[in-house]
Amino acid sequence: MNFSNKNLLFFFPESPFSKRAGNVLRTYTNLKQLKSLGLNIDLVGVEDYYNSFGDSPQDIDSAIINEVFVLKTKPPKKKLTLEYWKYKIQKKFNKENSNQYLTQYLKDNFTALLAQKKYDYIFINYEFWTDLIRDQDLKGAKTIVDTHDWITLNEFYNNKNLDLGKRFGEEINNLSLYDKVVTISQDEYFIFKSFLGDKVINIPPSFPENFEGSNIEKKYDLIFVGSDNPFNILSINWFVEKVLPLLPKEIKICIIGRICKHVPDHENIEKVFFADDLNIYYHASKIAICPMLKGTGIKIKVVEAMSYGLPVVGTEKAVDGFSDKKNNGCLVSDDEKEFADIIKSLLNNSSDYERQKDEASHFFKNNFSEKKSVELWEKTLNF
């Protein structure tokens, strides 16, 4: 089906074109694939996010996006204006919202966008932005939410005093407002489908196949790519403190991304704070590591590594959301000694290494291909 006469309003708070982290890279990929179906896409972001990351609405791909709107969360600080005092007073009476950026001013600006143009689809990223569409005149637009993660569990990791029943009830209630609920994890798909039925569809992350450079000479034994979110910081610290001392003294490790700010200097570690092209680093590496101790959903970094045919050594969290927890190209353990032993075994045994490499490539082709992903997006929109 061709969607060339269909308009889609796509909300993502930060710039999807920065590709600075796994969730952002996935969002960029989704936009690219949705555009390939012929949709006319307008992008909506939040100014506070753009400013905090140093992003610009000019840095978009005009081949994908028709118009970009970066909305403010509060009116200009001109105390003599009626608008300023209107929102100042409203803030006192509005109920407390855990999403501090989802202000009445932002919602009113979003409403103004809906009034300007008729959209066939409204796409919201993350359940906690649902108030953007609640009680709105959507003019018949179909609504889609990309959950990204099981937000209740994510928030519980950061707040052990969280009222789980209340928060999960709120999450399910928010998701129930949408026509389609997209998950990326098989585990979360089963959870949400149990409550919400057939409106839930699982669309795993996808990447192009990058196997062709696998014969390049290897400069690094291990590679880890990550942003500086709390889960990545916790994970890489565990690896450096607990696992690295158990590995051979000559091992070479490449760590890429903003996570480098939290990695101590070490003779075995090369830190790359930003890489325009990850291809050269993945192709120059033998094994990807994913020592995640917390977090929900599929780990984008694992799927990305597998798209290069790399075997992955990780904790049990590394295979969250996979349809097969065993035969997937990943070897896992939460024990630091076993983690180190798996790495050493793969590096020292070429037949074991090649077997894991083939398994990773096979699992990737069967589960994370771009062709399959586009077909699932088409199915999601065609209702």
pLDDT at 297: 78
Query: What residues have CB less than 8 Å from 234, skipping those under 6 apart?
Result: 293, 294
Return the CATH fold of 220-368: Rossmann fold (3.40.50)
pLDDT at 308: 94
Quote the pLDDT of residue 213.
64
The predicted structure's pLDDT at residue 157 = 81
User: What pLDDT does 210 receive?
Assistant: 87
Which part of the chain has CATH 3.40.50.2000?
7-206+370-381, 220-368
List per-residue pLDDT tens for the chain, 383 residues long: 678 889 999 999 999 999 888 888 899 999 999 999 999 999 999 999 999 999 998 989 999 999 999 999 988 776 556 655 565 555 555 566 678 899 999 999 999 999 999 999 999 999 999 999 999 999 999 999 999 988 898 888 888 888 899 999 999 999 999 999 999 988 899 999 999 999 999 999 998 888 876 667 899 999 999 988 888 999 999 999 999 999 999 999 999 999 999 999 999 999 999 888 899 999 999 999 999 998 777 888 999 999 999 999 999 999 988 888 888 889 999 999 999 999 999 999 999 999 999 999 999 999 998 988 999 999 999 87
The gap between the terminal CA atoms of the chain, to the nearest Å, is 11
| Fold (CATH) for 7-206+370-381 | Rossmann fold (3.40.50)
